[in-house]
């Protein structure tokens, strides 16, 4: 999934092209792309037709258009999913193979939703909060489906102290906490690995075992790395994350951890490793990012849980690569495993 820098790149591009424009036609070409809309394609089309786009907003990885005017407004939530793209083209340009929704604007441009794998889609939502204050939509107003998402580091509502306190209270691996969008939003697998590498923390360490100073360093690293990625249009690791003109960002050239298995750490030269975590891959330096205390041997490669019982660990000579049992499938915080194991 695209993370904050990629979604913000899209948001900015959209804002340049659709703010103040009126939607004069809507065409839904695939029912799956409107499956979150209760009334389906006809309902979505009816809600959008003839309405102006007042703004384009984002919280974390979530994007929505504010549709309407000073008398009435509602959010059109855009799920990019795994492969969703929001593109601006001219009317009459050839259709993309995976074009799912087309919204024609009153200036001769089209807003196109292209989504190869159809995990994404559009749906009209309501703003959270009292009905009486729904129009006009004030700044900071969130769609109901996004209201539980925590502020991201670039949000004026982001409270560093509160986020660090929330992290320190979690009896869970720090990478899992970073990926929990109700604690801090916008961070996905790529920027979590990058921030953990920068702050020299192994993602498997317990959040409640890290010092406040270390957590502060980590949040600063998250903010810095996402800011740097945003400055170059984000990361296009799988070539699907593009801006509204179809162009990719190029932060992947600057990645220090993600995707660098087998390559030397840019800080210490140790060979970078990959291990499975939450059905994803985690990339880290075994020397800079120790799993536990400095006395522990270098972090181990993942093996099946039956390979070595936990009691066998102490008997294993420290010079060997020690097997360990991966964490249980369901974490204490109830985070579910989703889908099949994926290797980027």
When the beta carbons of 59 and 273 are compared against Zn ion, the nearer one is: 273
When the beta carbons of 88 and 257 are compared against Zn ion, the nearer one is: 257
- Order of strands, edge to edge, in the sheet holding 121-124? 53-59, 62-68, 73-79, 121-124
When the beta carbons of 268 and 307 are compared against Zn ion, the nearer one is: 268
Strand, coil or helix: 193 = helix
Q: Which two tokens stand for residue 155?
A: 């949000």
Q: Which two tokens stand for residue 226?
A: 């996402």
> CA 324: distance to chain centroid?
29
Cα distance between residue 148 and residue 161, in whole Å = 19
When the beta carbons of 268 and 321 are compared against Zn ion, the nearer one is: 268
DSSP 95: P
Helix axes 189-198 and 212-231, enclosed angle (nearest 10): 120
Cα distance between residue 304 and residue 325, in whole Å = 7
- Cβ of residue 114: shortest distance to Zn ion, in angstroms? 39
- Cβ of residue 281: shortest distance to Zn ion, in angstroms? 18
Contacts to Zn ion by CB under 5 A: 265, 267-268, 270, 285, 287-288
Strand, coil or helix: 78 = strand
Which runs of E-coded beta strand occur in 49-204? Answer: 53-59, 62-68, 73-79, 84-90, 99-105, 109-115, 121-124
Cα distance between residue 115 and residue 96, in whole Å = 10
When the beta carbons of 105 and 257 are compared against Zn ion, the nearer one is: 257
Catalytic residue check, 280? yes
- Cβ of residue 265: shortest distance to Zn ion, in angstroms? 3
Q: Which one from 11, 59, 61, 134 is the annotated catalytic residue?
A: 61
CA separation, residue 165 to residues 212, 219, 233 (Å): 8, 12, 31
When the beta carbons of 11 and 300 are compared against Zn ion, the nearer one is: 300
Catalytic residue check, 3? yes
Task: Give yes or no for a contact between 132 and 70, defined as CB atoms under 8 angstroms apart.
Answer: no
- Order of strands, edge to edge, in the sheet holding 109-115? 23-28, 99-105, 109-115, 84-90
> If we measure between CA atoms, which residue out of 25, 52, 117, 235 comes closest to residue 243?
235
- Cβ of residue 204: shortest distance to Zn ion, in angstroms? 16
Catalytic residue check, 2? yes
> If we measure between CA atoms, which residue out of 156, 264, 175, 259 comes closest to residue 215?
175
Q: Which one from 3, 6, 110, 194 is the annotated catalytic residue?
A: 3
- Cβ of residue 198: shortest distance to Zn ion, in angstroms? 11
Q: Which one from 51, 102, 280, 300 is the annotated catalytic residue?
A: 280
- Cβ of residue 292: shortest distance to Zn ion, in angstroms? 17
When the beta carbons of 215 and 257 are compared against Zn ion, the nearer one is: 257
- Cβ of residue 296: shortest distance to Zn ion, in angstroms? 16
Q: Which residue numbers are catalytic?
A: 2-3, 61, 280
């Amino acid at each position: 999934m695209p993370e904050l820098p990629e979604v913000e790149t899209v948001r900015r591009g959209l804002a340049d092209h659709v703010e103040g424009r009126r939607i004069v036609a809507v065409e839904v070409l695939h029912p799956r792309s409107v499956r979150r809309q209760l009334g389906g394609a006809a309902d979505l089309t009816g809600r959008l037709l003839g309405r102006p786009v007042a703004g384009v907003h984002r919280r974390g990885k979530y994007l929505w258009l504010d549709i309407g005017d000073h008398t009435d407004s509602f959010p059109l939530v855009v799920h990019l999913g795994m492969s969703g793209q929001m593109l601006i083209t001219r009317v009459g340009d050839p259709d993309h193979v995976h074009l799912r929704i087309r919204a024609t604007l009153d200036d001769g441009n089209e807003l196109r939703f292209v989504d190869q794998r159809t995990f994404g889609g559009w749906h009209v939502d309501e703003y959270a909060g009292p009905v009486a204050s729904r129009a006009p939509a004030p700044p900071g107003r969130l769609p109901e489906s996004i209201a539980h998402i925590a502020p991201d580091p670039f949000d004026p509502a982001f409270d560093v102290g509160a986020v660090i306190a929330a992290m320190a209270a979690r009896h869970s691996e720090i990478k899992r906490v970073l990926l929990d969008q109700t604690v801090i939003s916008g961070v996905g697998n790529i920027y979590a690995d990058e921030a953990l590498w920068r702050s020299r923390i192994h993602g498997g360490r317990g959040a409640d075992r890290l010092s406040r100073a270390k957590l502060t360093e980590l949040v600063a690293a998250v903010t810095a790395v996402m800011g740097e990625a945003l400055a170059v249009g984000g990361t296009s690791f799988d070539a699907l994350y593009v801006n509204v003109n179809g162009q990719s960002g190029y932060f992947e050239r600057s990645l220090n951890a993600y995707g660098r298995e087998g390559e030397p750490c840019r800080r210490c030269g140790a060979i970078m490793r990959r291990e499975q975590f939450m059905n994803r891959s985690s990339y880290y330096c075994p020397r800079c990012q120790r799993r536990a205390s400095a006395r522990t041997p270098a972090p181990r490669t993942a093996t099946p849980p039956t390979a070595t019982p936990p009691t066998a660990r102490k008997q294993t000579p420290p010079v060997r690569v020690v097997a360990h049992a991966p964490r249980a499938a369901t974490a204490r915080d109830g985070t579910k495993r989703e889908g099949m194991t994926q290797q980027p």
